[in-house]
Amino acid sequence: MDNLLLWLHIGFAIFALGPVVAVTSATPRYIRAKDVAVLRYLHRSTRVFGLLTLGVFLFGLILGVLLGGGLLGKPYMSVSMTLFIVAAALLVIIDRDQKAAIRLLSNESGDDDAKVQSGRIAALAGVAALLFLVILVLMVWF
């Protein structure tokens, strides 16, 4: 059972975290290009992969409980879980900004070109990617 949970944890990490980082990082480019169709696709992809990232946390938590031995009490696990929650909160903010950018660029007036959302998404996507990288280092190193 432990091996299955570990495979699920690693599988979700590879097939959910990687794409969500790629999708959120690509969003500002399409905001600048004012390509609303691609932005809608990226927004939908961010939501799907963002929800799938919860599988990483869930299976990691279950694995930590089943392995026992105080694994969840280790400092690197607490730091990793906290960083993951922060990164998940950043993904929620990115999702909100993607939706706002789509709404602004879909308007016929064209007064606002969503530069604020573009910059904020770029910054938050970079921070979220860095947090996921720190979590990876903590999981491999310790």
Q: How far apart are CA 46 and CA 51, in angstroms?
A: 8
Phi, psi of 34 (to 5 degrees): 55, 40
Residue-wise pLDDT for 63-111, tens only, equals 888 877 778 888 999 999 999 999 999 999 999 999 999 999 998 776 7
Tokens of 142: 């310790």
- Residue 23 has which token pair? 């999708």
Backbone angles phi, psi at 70, to 5 degrees: 75, 25
Whether the per-residue pLDDT at 53 is higher than 90: the answer is yes
pLDDT of residue 68: 72
64 closest CA partner among 125, 141, 2, 114 = 2
> Mean per-residue pLDDT for 131-135?
97
Mean pLDDT of all residues in 132-136:
96
pTM of the model: 0.93
What is the token pair recorded at 49? 């992969």
